Amino acid sequence: MKKMISLAMYIIAFKMSFSQSYKFDGDWSGKININGGNETMWVRIKIQSNSITQYFYNEQNSIWTPTYPAFAKYDYNKNNYIYFWMNNSTVWSETQTYMLSYVNSDKLYVVWSRQVNNIQSGDYDTWSLQGTGYLTRRDD
């Protein structure tokens, strides 16, 4: 009987965990404010079950281009979701992090961070940007 109760509790916990991640599924985009100033940046993240794609927006051509980082990972807990990726070349490395909070079925709050490290002689050249804003579910 104890094994049956344990199994039932595990199944319920698994289903609750799945249902919590499921509410993040969708194609989300919005403009975020950079470093609390007047600069803005478009953010787009598409979440489908176990896959995530982040896009860069070219405002001149009005084209979204998917990123293909060297490494990416995500996780979630209840109403919060985190996605980060890392990329590099021979002289630089970069990390971007997207922390998402569920607001409602059509809106997420995002905290974004980008950190870049350029290899050079002496101290390496490092810089970062941060931004916050809202993403809304895309209909197209």
Write out pLDDT tens, residues 36-72. Answer: 789 999 999 999 987 899 999 999 999 999 999 999 9
CB 132 within 8 A of CB 111: yes
What pTM was estimated for this model as a whole? 0.81
In b/e form, how buried is each residue of 100-129, taking b as 16+ CB within 10 angstroms?
bebeeeeebbbebeeeebeeeeeeeeeeee
Selected residue with higher pLDDT from 106 and 22:
106
The pLDDT value given to residue 21: 60
Contact between 91 and 125 under an 8 Å Cβ cutoff? The reply is no
First to last CA, the chain: 50
Number of domains in the chain: 1
What residues make up the domain containing 120? 2-137
CATH code of 100's domain = 2.40.128
